Amino acid sequence: MRLLRALPALLIPLVVASRPAHAQAAECSVDTYQPAQLAQAGLTIQRAAAASTPADASKALRDAMKFLQDEKKLAANPLGTGFLRAQIYILWLHQEGGSEVMTNEALNAPGVKTASVDLIVAADSLFKLVEAQGPGCVEQTQQWRQSKPWTDRLNKAYQFLGADAVDSAEYYLKRSAMLNAKSAFTHNAYAQIADKRGDKDGLLSHLKMAIEMAAADTSLADTRRQMMFQYAANAQQHALAGGAARKNELLKEAVDTFLELLKQQPEGKEAAYSFSAVAEIVGLTQDTARGRAILAPMVADATPYNDLTLLLAADMARMLSRNDDAMAMYAGALKKNPNVRDASYFLAFMYYEKKDFAKMLPLTQKLIEIDPSNPDNYLLHAEALKLAALAEKDAPKKAQLIKDAEAAAKLEAAMLHKLLVTQFERREAGALLAGNIENRGKAAKSYSLTMDFVDASGAVIESVTAEVAAVAPGKTGDFKLEPTKAGIVAYKYRALP
């Protein structure tokens, strides 16, 4: 079994603040108090940041710049002067409807009045001079770099990405990155741009950086897992497409990342998809040693994993001829969801191979309850009854078991149809189930199928009916049902007449 999952771009909305942060930062050697003009400018900048109207903010910013005009008096402290000028530029960028480029005259700055200042470029250059003084200074500049001007432009980049306007997205992303390049969101956006342009290496490179940066922020744990999934899935696709020079390396990274996701959230919604991808890679590479190592913790303790992941792991164990491991995981899946048809079927068959009718019979009975119009289930039930008859010492009981086995076999042979579910996909809201009905009779027949979709306890969440019209003898008719209610994890149906 292989699960497929679409990989949409991670267009992650940002929560933005309207003002720069003023949390206590680490010590920075850059002095913004001497000479006195700097202290006056700093107080005026604080007034601008707290202003309640655009007019008040603009006046305060022009007043603050006035204190920074006398270059002779400020020559002794160029770093402090530059830091405050950068703060003024950032606060101008906070103003709604303001321009990113202003003249010296509009800023009330020294120099040629008509000369233009690109506020983003200028602020970035001045912050870099301050940041060169040490980590404490970096911490302080980041409060300004990560404020509203950055998030506004980054959000615009994501909006244009969502509209497939890649060039516009890249423009705003580059502008935002000048203010703050050290962001998981920034590298994620670069990754999505690379993806839209077909640059898989660029996509993977930026996603890797985004994942590394997100690791430092516990509030981004879910976002980081989304990016990890996208990285692993794209690494797998890129490696298998034949265009990657480092195919083996990418496949290993994909497996490692999928397994880390599985470890972090074994019951999470991505767990089964992650294991499905791992199983596919192991199957393609025939890396049986890695396969056994992947299965080992699940065999040791199936409890943390959901039923779908355990079902996939059991399938992989069978592929690796590790039947005992497969049986343990089929059993684990059924503990969590007793209505998983395939787990019951394969576990029953494997007990048949071991001649263990006592454990086989409850499973075949469950199969007939869940899947009553599939003759294969009656045949398997008949074999379980035959094994029980062979082991029975009491003559009357033996006779009854033989009679029951013959009856089940006759039902299998006489059944005029065969219903086969070929696809069952769980969704956050609803499910998709598809299959076909084979007409084993001698005349064309139409079928009305009512499928009950259930939760793990077996309670019916939603029932859907499909009509399969005029199936000719020896032919099959397809059906597809798409219930919409949340919580569906299995199905059962009413036997066809």
The predicted-structure confidence for 453-480, as pLDDT tens digits, reads as follows 999 999 999 999 999 999 999 999 999 9
Distances (CA, A) of 375 to 368, 409, 440, 480: 9, 9, 11, 21
**234-260 mean pLDDT:** 87
Q: Is the dihedral of CA 216, 220, 225, 226 positive or negative?
A: negative
Q: In which band, very low, low, confident or very high, does the pLDDT at 8 lie, cut at 50, 70 and 90? A: very low
**380-395 mean pLDDT:** 97
Say how far apart CA 218 and CA 364 lie, in whole Å. 47
Q: In which band, very low, low, confident or very high, does the pLDDT at 17 lie, cut at 50, 70 and 90? A: very low
**Is the previous residue joined to 54 through a cis bond, with omega within 30 degrees of 0?**
no
**pTM for the whole structure:** 0.77
Smallest CA-to-CA distance from 83 within 49, 136, 40, 125 is with: 125
The whole-number pLDDT of residue 38 equals 96
Say how far apart CA 94 and CA 349 lie, in whole Å. 68
Mean pLDDT of the chain: 92
Q: Is the dihedral of CA 252, 255, 258, 259 positive or negative?
A: negative
The whole-number pLDDT of residue 25 equals 59
Which amino acid is present at 113? K
Structure tokens given for 162: 């969502």
The whole-number pLDDT of residue 98 equals 87
The whole-number pLDDT of residue 351 equals 98
**87-108 mean pLDDT:** 95
Q: Percent of the chain beyond pLDDT 70?
A: 94
The whole-number pLDDT of residue 27 equals 87
Q: Is the pLDDT of residue 5 over 50?
A: no
Q: Is the pLDDT of residue 268 over 50?
A: yes
| Whether the Cβ atoms of residue 280 and residue 240 lie closer than 8 Å to each other | no
Using the structure block, give the residue that is written with the tokens 């006398």.
70
Q: Is the dihedral of CA 321, 275, 309, 466 positive or negative?
A: negative
Q: Which runs of consecutive H residues, i.e. helices, occur in 320-437?
A: 323-336, 341-353, 357-370, 375-391, 395-414
Using the structure block, give the residue that is written with the tokens 């039902």.
411
Buried b (16+ CB within 10 A) or exposed e, 43-67: ebbebbbebeeeeebbbbbbbbbbb
Q: Is the pLDDT of residue 105 over 70?
A: yes
Vertex 31, ends 26 and 37: CA angle to 5°?
Answer: 135
Q: Is the pLDDT of residue 63 over 90?
A: yes
Query: First CA to last CA across the chain, in angstroms?
Result: 30
The whole-number pLDDT of residue 363 equals 98
Q: In which band, very low, low, confident or very high, does the pLDDT at 313 lie, cut at 50, 70 and 90? A: very high
Q: Is the pLDDT of residue 12 over 90?
A: no
**325-337 mean pLDDT:** 95
The whole-number pLDDT of residue 240 equals 87
**14-41 mean pLDDT:** 73
Q: In which band, very low, low, confident or very high, does the pLDDT at 16 lie, cut at 50, 70 and 90? A: very low
Say how far apart CA 423 and CA 440 lie, in whole Å. 22
**309-337 mean pLDDT:** 94
Q: Is the pLDDT of residue 19 over 50?
A: no
| Whether the Cβ atoms of residue 423 and residue 434 lie closer than 8 Å to each other | yes
| Whether the Cβ atoms of residue 309 and residue 271 lie closer than 8 Å to each other | yes
Q: Is the pLDDT of residue 22 over 70?
A: no
Q: Which runs of consecutive H residues, i.e. helices, occur in 215-338?
A: 221-240, 247-264, 271-285, 288-300, 307-319, 323-336
Say how far apart CA 41 and CA 77 lie, in whole Å. 14
The whole-number pLDDT of residue 267 equals 87
| Whether the Cβ atoms of residue 334 and residue 362 lie closer than 8 Å to each other | no
**14-36 mean pLDDT:** 68
Neighbours of 193 (CB within 10 A): 22
Helices then strands, counting H and E runs in the chain, come out as: 21, 8
Say how far apart CA 162 and CA 9 lie, in whole Å. 8
The whole-number pLDDT of residue 9 equals 45
Q: Is the pLDDT of residue 7 over 90?
A: no
Using the structure block, give the residue that is written with the tokens 């001079």.
129
Q: Is the pLDDT of residue 31 over 50?
A: yes
Q: In which band, very low, low, confident or very high, does the pLDDT at 18 lie, cut at 50, 70 and 90? A: very low
Q: Is the pLDDT of residue 4 over 60?
A: no
The whole-number pLDDT of residue 459 equals 97
Q: Is the pLDDT of residue 1 over 80?
A: no
Q: Is the pLDDT of residue 341 over 60?
A: yes
**Which stretch of 6-15, 101-110, 421-430 has the lowest confidence by average pLDDT?**
6-15
